[in-house]
Amino acid sequence: MAILYDGLTEDGNRELTWRGGKGTFFIKGDLGGGTLELQIEVSEGSWLAVSDASFTDVTVSTIELMGSASTRIVLSGSTTPDFECGWL
Note the pLDDT tens digit of each residue in 28-83: 999 999 999 999 998 888 999 998 999 999 999 998 887 777 888 999 999 999 99
In the CATH scheme, what architecture does the domain 2-87 have? Sandwich (2.60)
What value does the mean pLDDT take over residues 13-36? Answer: 87
Residue pair 81/9 in contact (Cβ under 8 Å)? The answer is: yes
Residue pair 74/82 in contact (Cβ under 8 Å)? The answer is: no
Read off the pTM: 0.86
